[in-house]
Chains A and B, each alone.
Chain A
Amino acid sequence: GNSVTQMEGPVTLSEEAFLTINCTYTATGYPSLFWYVQYPGEGLQLLLKATKADDKGSNKGFEATYRKETTSFHLEKGSVQVSDSAVYFCALWAGGGADGLTFGKGTHLIIQP
């Protein structure tokens, strides 16, 4: 079956620090990979995605590269802000049917001024 593993946190950083949130996956087939973000009290928003090996997704200063050889999709940002405090979910979708995303458990990120 499919699964996603990510560091759970909480991860606490100072403003302007470099961020990495690790995500690895196992999947049958050839999945697409996603990062979603959930701000306090809100639903999930798509942050970025990548649909094939070596693709880099990017948005709002965040980046993640689809690494098929290491089955990873680590999220990075060069300089975090207090407004980046949120829960981040890594997810995959293998397609072939509308059977939903497989999510990691989420990483709670706290940025201190």
Chain B
Amino acid sequence: DVKVTQSSRYLVKRTGEKVFLECVQDMDHENMFWYRQDPGLGLRLIYFSYDVKMKEKGDIPEGYSVSREKKERFSLILESASTNQTSMYLCASTQGRGRTDTQYFGPGTRLTVL
């Protein structure tokens, strides 16, 4: 079974702090994604990566950056956390880039910024 893990289930930070959210997958997948989930808005893509050290902006990249130094790990960075970044963050991975490939999700990190 594919396993995608995220470093924290719940996180509380203060405005202005630098925040790191970590995601690790164990299936040697090429592609990894970060989404945020908000009530009434569904899931929105923040960033994705299709290879080590490669990254592409998704629909809502403002206020975020990412890092992918190793194939299995994809980090989401909030350079200076703000209250409007309070949300559920979901990481996903997939092997291929074809439309038949399935994305596998981690359990999510619920981030609260005070």
A interface vs B, CB < 8 Å? 8, 29-32, 34, 36, 42-46, 49, 51, 89, 93-101, 103-106
Q: Contact between B45 and A106 (Cβ–Cβ < 8 Å)? A: no
Q: Looking at the complex, which one of A34, A51, A100 makes contact with B33 (CB distance below 8 Å)?
A: A100
B interface vs A, CB < 8 Å? 4, 30-31, 33, 35, 40-45, 48-50, 56, 58-59, 90, 92, 94, 97-108
A and B contact pairs by CB, cutoff 8 A, 5 listed: A45-B105, A46-B103, A95-B101, A98-B48, A99-B56
Q: Looking at the complex, which one of A36, A42, A95, A100 makes contact with B48 (CB distance below 8 Å)?
A: A100
Q: Looking at the complex, which one of A42, A94, A105 makes contact with B108 (CB distance below 8 Å)?
A: A42
Q: Would you give the shortest CB distance from B20 to chain A, in whole angstroms?
A: 19
Q: Would you give the shortest CB distance from B8 to chain A, in whole angstroms?
A: 13
Compute how far the CA of A104 lies from the CA of B58 in the bound complex, rounded to whole angstroms: 16
- Nearest 5 CB-CB pairings of A with B: A95-B99, A100-B45, A105-B42, A98-B31, A43-B107
Q: Contact between A95 and B108 (Cβ–Cβ < 8 Å)? A: no
Q: Contact between B97 and A98 (Cβ–Cβ < 8 Å)? A: yes
Q: Would you give the shortest CB distance from A61 to chain B, in whole angstroms?
A: 20
Q: Contact between B43 and A103 (Cβ–Cβ < 8 Å)? A: yes
User: Which residues of A sit under 8 angstroms from B98, Cβ to Cβ?
Assistant: 95
Q: Would you give the shortest CB distance from B106 to chain A, in whole angstroms?
A: 5
Compute how far the CA of A32 lies from the CA of B97 in the bound complex, rounded to whole angstroms: 12
Closest to A99 in B: B48
Q: Contact between B35 and A100 (Cβ–Cβ < 8 Å)? A: yes
Q: Contact between B105 and A105 (Cβ–Cβ < 8 Å)? A: no
Q: Looking at the complex, which one of B40, B41, B43, B97 makes contact with A101 (CB distance below 8 Å)?
A: B43
Q: Contact between A103 and B48 (Cβ–Cβ < 8 Å)? A: no
User: Which residues of B sit under 8 angstroms from A101, Cβ to Cβ?
Assistant: 43, 45, 92, 103
Q: Contact between B99 and A93 (Cβ–Cβ < 8 Å)? A: yes
Q: Would you give the shortest CB distance from A37 to chain B, in whole angstroms?
A: 11
